[in-house]
Structure 1
Amino acid sequence: MSLLEVSNLEAFYGASQALFGVNLQIAEGQLVALMGRNGMGKTTTVRSITRMLRTTKGAIRFDGKDLTVLPSFRAARLGIGLAPEGRRCFANLSVSENLMASARSGPWDIEKATELFPRLGERMTQSASTLSGGEQQMLAIARALLTNPRLLILDEATEGLAPVVRQEIWAAIAKLKQGGQSILVIDKGFSELRAVADRCVILARGETVWTGTPASLTSDVETEFLGV
């Protein structure tokens, strides 16, 4: 049984339909890349899975449980951790306070998070607003990890970051995967995604148009669905 199974997902913003049939599965310990051009429905899919967008049709099951009947906080308590697009750190709180605000009991704690991202350990007393964009992204990921999730969702994991910081974050993602963490990641770094993903799911116009392994992602598919 899949850890997460999304079937025939449709989603709506008021009277406007945004998703028309999204299908994806994530097994325990698997890293799945959700790919597609801008505006194709990736973040709406994440919002639907995490139940921040409730106006949906279709099936969303997590560890066999129906997520569609749950509010977002109950979905999170089942073990879904999110590092959202735009990071959304608590700007006026310190790094330490940001981490403590989300912490739940489990193997991930502040010490382990700062081992993954040593920069955060050096800035524990600084307010999140004083961090660089890359450091805020590290904080967003660490904050999600401190919920001790069974599934970690990274929405635009390295968007807009300097190359050296992108490398640090991709290295951290690789470590998480090696440690058995189940991950759904959205990013535009196709070469980096290919290096870590077990499977890729491509969306176009709000529906799943291709699913397969990175090795089977041909240049024709990339040009049709991912090219500029």
Structure 2
Amino acid sequence: MILNFFDQFCIPNLLGVPLIILALFFPLMTWFTTNRLIQNRYSTVQSSFLIYITKQMMLPINITGHKWANTLITLMLMLMLLNTLGLLPYTFTPTTQLSMNMALAMPAWLMTVLTGLRNQPTASLGHLLPEGTPILLIPMLILIETASLLIRPIALGVRLTANLTAGHLLIQLTSTAVLALMNTMTATAMMTLVVLILLSCLEMAVALIQAYVFVLLLTLYLQENI
């Protein structure tokens, strides 16, 4: 049987129940079983991390845009959860699907554009034509700037999909090599296993960083329209 490496991007089922549903319940179980009124080391570190990330994320935005902090930090935490799900056994990463990423990127990008058109329509439309442009170049620059504006949500979705898909495929290839070499070349298989562990740590970092980058780009788009 020929192994299809892209099978890892399909939702595994057990007795007709998608296992990703069970995986999504784990954070909820942690939430309901933890007493939020009692401050412990875990909750203190969690709160400090969220406060630090929120401050860093809001740096490019002026005071007017700070009201979007709750929405953006919630989106980032959701992306972190979805990006890291694929590193658990018998699950898959929902954000490796371009359709899901575009469903997140399109409304978020449209929110920034509509906010600019509502608050400062003249300045938002002025981004389509740089000041001091020669008259002959005005139609061409308007088309170029419009294309660059419309391609932003595509870039958001494709970037997230490509980074996560490439990392998971690399881990799949490396783990397959470890299993194939285990009986014939044990020393090589052990060295490859070390590489696999390092790749898994790298993929965890990529999953967290890509969620932060996704939201950070949204903050930059929002800053242009407020």
TM-score above 0.5, yes or no: no
| Higher Rg | 2
Task: Considering fraction of residues, name the structure with more helix.
Answer: 2
Q: TM-score, normalised by structure 2?
A: 0.23
Q: Which has the higher strand share?
A: 1
- Give the TM-score taking structure 1 as reference length: 0.23
